[in-house]
Amino acid sequence: MSELSKGVVDAAQAEGILTELRQTFDRLDYQAVNEVLSVLRSARRIVCAGVGREGLTCRAFCMRLMHLGYDSHWVWDDTAPALGEGDVFFFTCGSGQIAHLLTIAQLAKDTGATVVCVTGVPNSDAARLSDHVVFIPASVYKGSGDLVPTVQPMGTLWETASWILLDAIVYGLHERDNIGYAEMAARHRNYE
């Protein structure tokens, strides 16, 4: 980032962030992403989890899965169902070491559910526990390794990349299942 753009929001600052995102997505393993698409398409139900800012991206993803017509639930909602074989536990865990997410993922795995993790650390406990892993190679909070560097604070690059990736998965499911936007909108709550 140039000295001129320090401390202000301008096109150069935005371009720097977009460059970091391009570098991240240039290094993404799209085969792993497409395997996850197939896993989600065949799921009986999907329970999603995440914490912090990356959890917000996962919760938005869970909502879009519902809009697509999938039986999707947020793990901490009181109406979240039991899991078993044929189900998917999908979670984001940037550092791969968030203890209570690892506990929940292990419990989900013990039910026979397939565990899918999106992480920034491919050799983390979360990755080892999961049946399918998507590694986002972006600087992540409390993560290390061969990651795209960033000028942004904490895990912002990883969180932004995870939001874009999860939306890309939604778009991929929308295309594969031939679900129209009007059909998705019809599932959105109509009492707000």
Determine phi and psi for 96, rounding to 5 degrees: 75, 10
- What is the pTM for the complete model shown? 0.93
How long a stretch of residues is the chain?
Answer: 192
SS (H, E, C) 153-179: CCCHHHHHHHHHHHHHHHHHHHHHHCC
Specify the pLDDT at position 5: 58
Averaged confidence pLDDT in the chain: 94
Beta bridge partners, 133, equal 117
Query: Residue 177 corresponds to which tokens in the numbers above?
Result: 């299942």
Residue 180 CB contacts under 8 Å (≥ 6 apart), including other chains = none
Q: Is residue 72 helix, strand or coil?
A: strand
Tell me the C-alpha distance between 49 and 55, whole Å: 7
Mean pLDDT to the nearest integer, 98-114: 98
Q: State how far the alpha carbon of 17 is from the alpha carbons of 83, 133, 137, in Å.
A: 39, 25, 15
Tell me the C-alpha distance between 174 and 184, whole Å: 9
- pLDDT tens digits for range 132-147: 999 999 988 888 888 8
Per-residue pLDDT for 7 more than 50? yes
- pLDDT tens digits for range 34-67: 999 999 999 999 999 999 999 999 999 999 999 9
Tell me the C-alpha distance between 47 and 74, whole Å: 6
Per-residue pLDDT for 2 more than 70? no
User: For residue 132, what is the enclosing H or E element?
Assistant: strand 132-135
DSSP 117: E
